[in-house]
Structure 1
Amino acid sequence: MKAAVCQHGDFTVQDVPRPEPGPGQLLLRVVRAGICGSDLHARQHADQLAELAGELGYDTIMRPEQQVVLGHEFLGELVAYGPKTRRRWKKGARIVALPMVRHHSGVHMVGFDVHSPGAFAEYVVVQEAFAFEVPKGVPDDVAAFTEPLAVAWHAVRRGDVGRRPAIVIGCGPIGLAVILMLKASGVKTIVASDLSPTRRELARQCGATVVVDPREQSPWTAYKQPGPVGSITEYANFGLNAIGTMRMVPLLPWGRLVRFGDTIGASPVGPVIFECVGVPGILDGILAGAPLLSRIVGVGVCMEPDTIRTVLGLNKEAEIRFVFGYDPQEFAHVLGLLASGRVDPTPLHTGTVGLSELGQAFADLGNPELHAKILVDPAQP
């Protein structure tokens, strides 16, 4: 089969053996594959990625000198079953799957090591237990977004926004996906901040209610804050006024009233901020500028060591939650959202290339004015 093989950061289209499905596995003919930011990192920082993965217990992540087929976001047609499979779908069924397979040597991440070639190829092997049939009527270019939107849905779920405003810092593909999922979950105020005019326009199309250029307007003041959380002095004045008023009433159980306000969500609270840039300094900048009592969700992948001034977080009682991946239920839920039409990822899709154009596509993705998300069609010349 044809595959785009990555070695030392360069892509070459080669004839390689077609993978064979093992126990509990399926063989898919790749229809579409998405280029993810993680693929960009893997191509440029393979050694660094492997070292970090080793600390987390993954000991088979690619090295620059190895020949690896990337691609972990994909849609495929079912070609063959391996042994010990339930064979629940007919051949030709359109399948999306979590990019993780199990071999004798352990569990492997599809598209990130030599033991589990990815979908920048004509065929890919997936685990049947992690595979889902695409409902009829869902276009190929939409179904191919299931995996990256599952990442965004997991981030939104972990963010637990509720009735709070949401602020998205960085409107690259993952930031735009987060905006789509915030809109789908019913968040009323979605502030999007990005330096790129093209990405700001895409943020509007994806459902952002307020869009700002941070060079001209602060995302922290671009919306009406629902409480006295703009500064420590504002918050202190609110407390003095509120407690002072309650304590003027004899025998009023003011302490219990305060706790009751916390329980029902009536106490002041800051926004939920999604950091979708992944560049050193962004987190510290958020801590410096964000309102009090904010929740920060770390979504962007930063490959470099970073520094934050914890005293900022302490004084503002900021909360930081880092997120990674998704679970099978979240993956299936996103597929259902796509099938129902509640989520439309087409604004993100800015180009489709063949295997021979992959190197140029990776380069083009470095320019935010050119592309947001590029899909790969292995059948395209």
Structure 2
Amino acid sequence: MVLHEGELGVADVPQPTPGPGQVRLRVTRAGICGSDLHVRVDPDVSADVAAEVGYPDFMRAKQRVVMGHEFTGAVDAYGPGCRRRWRPGQAVVALPLIRHGDDIHMIGLSTEAPGAYAEYMLVAEDAAMPVPAGLPPDLAALTEPLAVAYHAVRRGEVARRDPAVVIGCGPIGLAVILILKALGVRHVVASDYSAGRRELAWACGADVVVDPAVESPWEMLGDGPVTSAPELYGTGLDALHALRSVPGLPWWSALTAAQRLGAGPRGAVVFECVGVPGVIEEIVTRAPFQSRVVVVGVCMRPDTFRPTMASNKEIDLRFSFCYDPAEFRATLHLVARRKLDPRPLLTGVVGLDGVAGAFDELGRAGRHAKILVDPWLK
């Protein structure tokens, strides 16, 4: 499936030949990512940002690109210099990065590294990981998007007792819910305007699911988080009054010790999974004091928020993008050990000739979450 000037079409291309340290995979499943939907329409915006951070080979609209960076496949052939770690036919997943000489390329997002919307593709042997026995390809292919969510949750430093709020229940928002619940977070509030996505949020384990057009997710956090400046200041004064009433007690030492044990005001951990201008400002304005906000949604356009509001409320604003190799492997094994069940994410499978229609369907934010591509499906 080749993308060119925003149009997707099936084409015959030469079978890839693995170079040094590379493995050719026979693709069994590939996931359609939300970022693929964005770059199909306007890849040049992402390419400009990628160039600014040192990667000049991100795809552009005028190029012909085979996309697909969420995948699993079977080992088919090795290039020179490989250690040949696995027998032919072994199912693997891999980080979507590959070396050509001294250069590193993003698989499925560059002409230099064709992706998984194809029958065969190349990966780096060092970046590949065997799929545990018994894990079907439909679930193994979800390793990459779940790893994005796993990294985002780690960025949020979420404790089990922290209330968590997920704004936006598209594929990544749903994956964040799955990871939060797999890690034992007790109270997860999910918010989305789409009825279909709200149903999926319930299926993924959210404790509270709201339609923000009808009710506020922030009102579902209970009485713990602080929501006003007088309340925050009053908490400090009340603690000071109580501690000073104990004769001989150094109140400053007691207060410091209590803070180390987690006492005192504590905000929510909020995951922005929408990627639309204005959402960060809405979260900064509405979230409880001392919240941690993890921005997972990829907003392709400039955005604004009020720093003075974030400062007054001591909001931590963090951005999350990818994952490291250990997180990728940990995610794979969370799924293999059934610590989390990502099956609610799976809402369709298409062949290569169905990819263009699947892109259109996913862009409508209806019942679908993750549509997989089986390149051998006719």
Same fold (TM > 0.5): yes
The answer on whether the counterparts of 1:34 and 1:374 sit within 8 Å (CA) in structure 2 is yes
Aligned to 1:200: 198
Aligned to 2:52: 55
Distance 2:214 2:243 in 1: 41
1:60-114 Cα distance to aligned partner (Å, 9 max, x none):
0111010000000001011001111111111000110000000025000000111
Aligned to 2:368: 371
Aligned to 1:150: 147
The answer on whether the counterparts of 1:21 and 1:27 sit within 8 Å (CA) in structure 2 is yes
* SS, match of residue 14 in structure 1: coil
> TM-score w.r.t. structure 1 length?
0.97
- The answer to whether structure 1 residue 126 and structure 2 residue 123 are counterparts is yes
Aligned to 1:88: 85
Aligned to 2:269: 272
1:261-287 Cα distance to aligned partner (Å, 9 max, x none):
221111211010000000000000001
Aligned to 1:178: 176
> Which letter does structure 2 place at the counterpart of 1:278?
G
Offset of residue 57 of structure 1: 0.6
- The answer to whether structure 1 residue 216 and structure 2 residue 214 are counterparts is yes
Aligned to 2:135: 138
> Which letter does structure 2 place at the counterpart of 1:374?
I
1:213-264 Cα distance to aligned partner (Å, 9 max, x none):
111111111131424x121111122222221222233432111112112211
The answer on whether the counterparts of 2:37 and 2:363 sit within 8 Å (CA) in structure 1 is no
Aligned to 1:308: 305
Distance 1:274 1:20 in 2: 41
* SS, match of residue 147 in structure 1: helix
Equivalences for residues 210-289 of structure 1 within 5 A: 210-227=208-225, 229-289=226-286
* SS, match of residue 199 in structure 2: helix
> Which letter does structure 1 place at the counterpart of 2:19?
G
Equivalences for residues 343-354 of structure 1 within 5 A: 343-354=340-351
- The answer to whether structure 1 residue 75 and structure 2 residue 69 are counterparts is no
> Which letter does structure 1 place at the counterpart of 2:150?
W
- The answer to whether structure 1 residue 114 and structure 2 residue 123 are counterparts is no
Distance 1:157 1:261 in 2: 25
The answer on whether the counterparts of 1:19 and 1:123 sit within 8 Å (CA) in structure 2 is yes
> Which letter does structure 1 place at the counterpart of 2:173?
G
The answer on whether the counterparts of 1:355 and 1:377 sit within 8 Å (CA) in structure 2 is yes
> Which letter does structure 1 place at the counterpart of 2:22?
Q
Moved more, 218-227 or 124-133: 218-227
Distance 2:223 2:292 in 1: 14
1:303-343 Cα distance to aligned partner (Å, 9 max, x none):
00000001110110000111111111111111111111111
Q: How large is the RMSD of aligned CA atoms in angstroms?
A: 1.0
Distance 1:192 1:261 in 2: 31
> Which letter does structure 2 place at the counterpart of 1:322?
F
Distance 1:302 1:259 in 2: 39
Distance 2:261 2:238 in 1: 20
Aligned to 1:40: 37
* SS, match of residue 88 in structure 2: coil
The answer on whether the counterparts of 1:292 and 1:317 sit within 8 Å (CA) in structure 2 is yes
The answer on whether the counterparts of 2:95 and 2:127 sit within 8 Å (CA) in structure 1 is yes
Offset of residue 371 of structure 1: 1.1
The answer on whether the counterparts of 2:2 and 2:9 sit within 8 Å (CA) in structure 1 is yes
The answer on whether the counterparts of 1:210 and 1:223 sit within 8 Å (CA) in structure 2 is no
Moved more, 233-242 or 56-65: 233-242
Distance 1:363 1:369 in 2: 11
> Which letter does structure 2 place at the counterpart of 1:32?
R
The answer on whether the counterparts of 2:177 and 2:206 sit within 8 Å (CA) in structure 1 is yes
> Which letter does structure 2 place at the counterpart of 1:296?
V
> Which letter does structure 2 place at the counterpart of 1:314?
S
> Which letter does structure 1 place at the counterpart of 2:236?
G
Distance 1:52 1:144 in 2: 27
Q: Which runs of 5+ in 1 are unaligned?
A: none
Offset of residue 136 of structure 1: 1.3
> Which letter does structure 1 place at the counterpart of 2:24?
L
List structure 1 segments (4+ residues) > 6 angstroms apart after TM superposition: none
Distance 1:225 1:301 in 2: 32
Aligned to 1:168: 166
> Which letter does structure 2 place at the counterpart of 1:249?
V
Aligned to 1:331: 328
> Which letter does structure 1 place at the counterpart of 2:334?
L
Moved more, 26-35 or 105-114: 105-114
Aligned length: 377
Distance 2:177 2:46 in 1: 27
